[in-house]
């Protein structure tokens, strides 16, 4: 299929932007790192902890440039893109340290520039500029829509909604769908009702009880200023296998609005932000999927495969930098590792590697480097040994958020408690086969109830008299070494 005129124009715009960026970066070496993840994966916390650790000299033994003292300092500077909101680092770090609350979730794109002064391994002094771009993972799942017609997207969405795990959540929308005649006269009220019920279905899928991940279009769940606009007022229809949409029909109306969504929402994001990234972090709340069972894990696997298919990946070359930059390193990170004992951290990594395995195999053929890590950007718990009968059992100490409850006990948000985390199975495949995600301390207990981890407040930190304290973490230094260690050699 030959490219359309609009595709050719879009490619020309992307090339022109790449040439402009290359000219800027030639005199000031810059790495643009995208940070994304699906709902509640911890994007804001990750970026805040990364900046805090670099600017405050955090304990990063695996991040070689900082551990060996070659980084002289890291400082924030004004961001380069005037039309993009600044990532609110200062507010977020105050929320974490002073209020001991988690920052609000990402609902829009934002950016932050961090400048690192360092000494190369040959002794020369250099500067690297790190532009961090924070955006919702739901937007990333919209990118495949650029290659899909309304008819293809509609059929795929309906097929997905009829799967066993999703069908009950889509029942009300399906009932309304059965009353619609795709070839009938266009009807604004029918479109509004269909879009509302379809959005309710997507929102239900995202609920932590089900933890589904594959939920495009992303802006239906975070509409912002587009709420109520025609570009967000469409839904899938039951369509014939062939034929064209009659003029002025409901089908034609939905297709027109679907194309408007791509033009107004998806293409500008791809052109202005996504296509300019050099490195990418994809954060995954795998624990939520574990809690919801194999169906959520399979859904997460499909979502991450779709995400990886969006990236223009491969080894960076002079020509690619000049005309179309490529993402040459992607980090998949399973967050909230502090909710598990350290003995399960490698197992958590193994599960995430299993989820992205097929997608990673395709990417590695292009020369791109991909890594998987289990981490906690901000560690909210400590490990301890607690006595239970005659046994000493590994436990976690932390302060549950107000309103959390376990075993009939509710927590006030001020009292530290000890919890006994379950162990992930040594064989990652067990999570995809069994309805019981976690193997707890007693197999009998595990068979009766699934694992539910508590939400902990950020840790209580003591100021050291030199400014804000450094946030504790698990394996954040390993993530940094993979992402930018090669640029600081």
pLDDT at 21 over 70: no
Question: Are 450 and 426 a contacting pair, CB within 8 Å?
Answer: no
Q: What is the pLDDT of residue 449?
A: 35
Rounded CA gap, 258 and 395, in Å? 50
Q: Give start and end residues of each alpha helix (H) in 89-149.
A: 89-97, 137-140
User: pTM for this one?
Assistant: 0.84
In this prediction, residue 319 has a pLDDT band, given cuts at 50, 70 and 90, of: very low
Count CA within 13 A, CB hemisphere, residue 488: 27
Report the share of the chain in percent with pLDDT over 70: 84
- Angstrom distance (rounded) from CA 13 to CA 9: 6
pLDDT confidence tier of residue 40, bands split at 50, 70 and 90: confident
Report residue 11's pLDDT band, with 50, 70 and 90 as the boundaries: low
269-282 tens-digit pLDDT: 888 888 889 999 99
pLDDT at 302 over 90: no
- Confidence band, pLDDT 50/70/90 cuts, at residue 261: very high
User: Residue 420: its pLDDT value, please?
Assistant: 81
Please give the share of the chain, as a percent, with pLDDT higher than 90. Answer: 52
User: Does residue 217 or residue 367 have the better pLDDT?
Assistant: 217
DSSP 324-384: S--B-EEEEEE--GGGS-GGGHHHHHHHHHHHHHHHHHHHHTTT-EEEEEE-BSS---EEE
Question: Quick one: pLDDT band at residue 38, thresholds 50, 70, 90?
Answer: confident
Contact between 457 and 100 under an 8 Å Cβ cutoff? The reply is yes
Q: Helix (H, G, I), strand (E, B), or coil: what is residue 210?
A: coil
* Residue 404 to residue 339: CA distance in whole angstroms: 14
Each residue's pLDDT tens digit, 398-450: 999 988 877 667 888 889 988 887 778 777 777 666 544 443 333 333 333 34
């Amino acid at each position: 299929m030959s490219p359309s005129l609009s595709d050719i124009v879009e490619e020309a715009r992307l090339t022109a932007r790449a040439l402009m960026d290359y000219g800027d970066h030639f005199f000031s070496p810059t790495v643009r790192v995208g940070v994304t993840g699906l709902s509640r994966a911890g994007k804001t916390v990750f970026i805040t902890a990364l900046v805090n650790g670099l600017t405050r000299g955090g304990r990063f033994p695996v991040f070689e440039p900082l551990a060996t003292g070659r980084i002289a300092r890291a400082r924030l500077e004004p961001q380069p893109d005037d039309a993009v909101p600044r990532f609110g680092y200062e507010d977020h770090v105050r929320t974490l340290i002073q209020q001991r609350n988690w920052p609000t979730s990402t609902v829009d794109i934002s950016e932050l520039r961090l400048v690192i002064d360092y000494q190369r391994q040959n002794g020369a002094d250099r500067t690297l500029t790190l532009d961090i771009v924070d955006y919702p993972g739901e937007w990333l799942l919209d990118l495949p829509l650029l290659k899909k017609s309304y008819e293809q997207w509609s059929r795929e969405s309906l097929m997905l909604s009829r799967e066993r795990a999703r069908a009950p959540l889509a029942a009300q929308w399906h009932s309304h769908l059965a009353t619609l005649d795709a070839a009938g006269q266009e009807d604004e009220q029918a479109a509004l009702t269909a879009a509302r019920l379809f959005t309710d279905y997507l929102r239900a899928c995202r609920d932590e009880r089900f933890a589904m991940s594959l939920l495009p279009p992303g802006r239906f769940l975070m509409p912002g200023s587009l709420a109520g606009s025609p570009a967000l007022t469409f839904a899938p229809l039951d369509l014939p296998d062939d034929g064209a949409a009659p003029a002025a029909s409901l089908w034609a109306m939905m297709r027109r609005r679907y194309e408007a969504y791509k033009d107004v929402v998806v293409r500008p994001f791809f052109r202005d932000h996504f296509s300019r990234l050099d490195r990418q972090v994809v954060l995954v709340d795998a624990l939520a999927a574990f809690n919801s069972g194999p169906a959520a894990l399979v859904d997460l696997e499909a979502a991450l495969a779709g995400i990886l298919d969006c990236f223009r990946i491969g080894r960076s070359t002079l020509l690619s930098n000049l005309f179309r930059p490529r993402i040459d390193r992607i980090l998949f990170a399973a967050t909230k590792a502090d909710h598990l004992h350290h003995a399960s951290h490698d197992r958590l990594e193994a599960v995430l590697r299993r989820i992205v395995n097929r997608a990673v195999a395709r990417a590695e053929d292009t020369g791109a480097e991909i890594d998987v890590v289990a981490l906690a950007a901000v560690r909210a718990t400590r490990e301890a040994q607690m006595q239970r009968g005659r046994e000493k059992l590994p436990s976690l100490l932390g302060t549950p958020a107000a309103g959390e409850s376990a075993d009939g006990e509710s927590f006030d948000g001020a009292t530290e408690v000890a919890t006994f985390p379950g162990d992930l199975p040594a064989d990652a495949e067990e999570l995809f086969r069994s309805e019981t995600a976690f193997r707890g301390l007693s197999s009998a207990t595990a068979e009766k109830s699934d694992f539910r981890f508590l939400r902990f407040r950020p840790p209580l930190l003591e100021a050291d008299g030199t400014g804000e304290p450094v946030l504790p973490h698990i394996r954040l230094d390993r993530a940094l070494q993979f992402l930018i260690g090669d640029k600081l050699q």
